[in-house]
Amino acid sequence: MSAVEDAPNARENEQRARIVATAERLFREIGFQKTTVADIARELRMSPANVYRFFGSKSEIHMAVARQLMGEVEAAAERLASGPGPAAERLRTLVLASEAMNAERYLADRKLHEMVEAALNEHWPLIDDHIDRLDAIYERIIASGMESGEFAKGDAKLASKLVRTACVRFCHPHLMVEFAHRPHPTSAEMVDFCLTALRAGVGS
């Protein structure tokens, strides 16, 4: 494809990104349910019809904002998984970083939390995709630990699901709110528990 043919696609992607960024800001300010396409268009100095050129419905904008937020978490998780150091330390850092990122996005900002609640309650397909991507990242770290001898040999795929499930209360936006008043176990304590299990042969 030539540079001339690429130009319209680049402009379209840039415009879509502007719409998503503006929608996310408005979701944080007034809530995703209250934000209308007209609000987004007004902020961008365009007509609602122009917004609909890039997104077929308001729900598509919701999906795009959620996908971007989850993509940021996935990208950070990928960097941690691919970084240097023992598998145990990468796994620990991954869980604690995921907790911190989700707390920043969904707990400190309650209006944005409403969107996540809707995504979970309405079973948006991207939630399952997000979980699958995180499972794959956990699996890669655990498999590397099994190969290096840090962890006992076993089924890395099963072990990754067990570890993520054990730590879900520290990363799942709804559970983070529900258990906020219960300080123990902490995420660090749960990671220690999981690492002990991995060294003993969980998932074998």
Report the candidate in 61, 63, 62 with the shortest Cα–Cα distance to residue 53. 61
Task: Supply angle C-alpha 33, 39, 45, rounded to 5.
Answer: 155
Tokens at 99, concatenated? 């907790």
Copy the structure tokens of residue 34: 């209250």
**What is the structure's pLDDT at 4?**
46
**Distance between CA 159 and CA 44 in Å, rounded?**
47
pLDDT at position 106 is 67
**Which domains are seen in the chain, by residue range?**
1-56 (1.10.10.60), 59-200 (1.10.357.10)
Tokens for 26? 């408005």
Q: Mean pLDDT in each 10-residue stretch from start to end of the chain (204 residues)?
A: 60 92 92 92 95 92 89 89 93 91 73 76 83 92 96 94 90 76 87 95 61
- CA 48/CA 96 separation, integer angstroms: 41
Is the whole-model pTM more than 0.85?
no
Check residue 8 and give its pLDDT: 64
C-beta atoms surrounding 32 within 10 Å: 23
Report H helices in 31-86: 37-43, 48-54, 58-81
* Non-local CB neighbours of 141 within 8 Å, separated by 6+ positions: 81, 87, 90, 91, 94, 160
Residues 6+ apart with CB under 8 A from 42: none
Quote the tokens at residue 197.
């299990």
Please compute Rg for the chain using Cα positions: 20
Rounded-to-integer distance, Cα 128 and Cα 47, Å: 34
Q: What pLDDT does residue 128 have?
A: 86
